[in-house]
Amino acid sequence: GAYGNVNNLIVQFTTARGAAQRVFEMLDALPDVDLNAGMKLRREDVRGTFELSNVTFAYQMRPKEKVIDGINLTIHGGSTVAFVGKSGGGKSTMIHLLMRFYDPTAGSVRLGGIDLRDLDPDDVRRNVQMVFEDTLLFHDTVAANIAFARPDASPADIAAAAAAAGADFIDDLPEGFDTVLGERGYSLSGGQRQRIAIARVL
Average pLDDT (50-60) is: 91
- Residue 42's pLDDT is 56
Q: What is the DSSP string of 117-132?
A: GGB-HHHHHHHS----
Closest CA to 48 of 78, 81, 77, 75: 77
- Residue 161's pLDDT is 95
Lowest mean pLDDT among 14-28, 50-64, 153-167: 14-28
Greater confidence (96 vs 134) lies with 96
Residue 27: pLDDT band with limits 50, 70, 90: low
Instruction: List the strands of the sheet with 114-115, edge to edge.
Output: 68-75, 50-57, 106-111, 114-115
Residues 40 and 118: beta-carbon distance below 8 Å: yes
Residues 105 and 80: beta-carbon distance below 8 Å: no
Q: Rounded to an integer, what distance in angstroms lies between the CA atom of residue 181 and that of residue 179?
A: 6
Average pLDDT (100-129) is: 84
Residues 128 and 46: beta-carbon distance below 8 Å: yes
Per-residue pLDDT tens digits for 120-176: 777 777 777 777 777 788 889 999 999 998 889 999 999 999 999 999 999 999 899
Average pLDDT (11-33) is: 62
E strands of the chain, at which residues? Answer: 50-57, 68-75, 106-111, 114-115
Q: Compute CA distances 12 → 3, 9, 16, 23, 25, whole Å.
A: 14, 5, 6, 16, 20
Q: What is the DSSP string of 119-168?
A: B-HHHHHHHS----SS----SSBHHHHHTTT-TT--HHHHHHHHHHTT-G
pLDDT at 72 > cutoff 90: yes
Residue 113: pLDDT band with limits 50, 70, 90: confident
Q: What is the pTM of this model?
A: 0.62
Residue 183: pLDDT band with limits 50, 70, 90: low
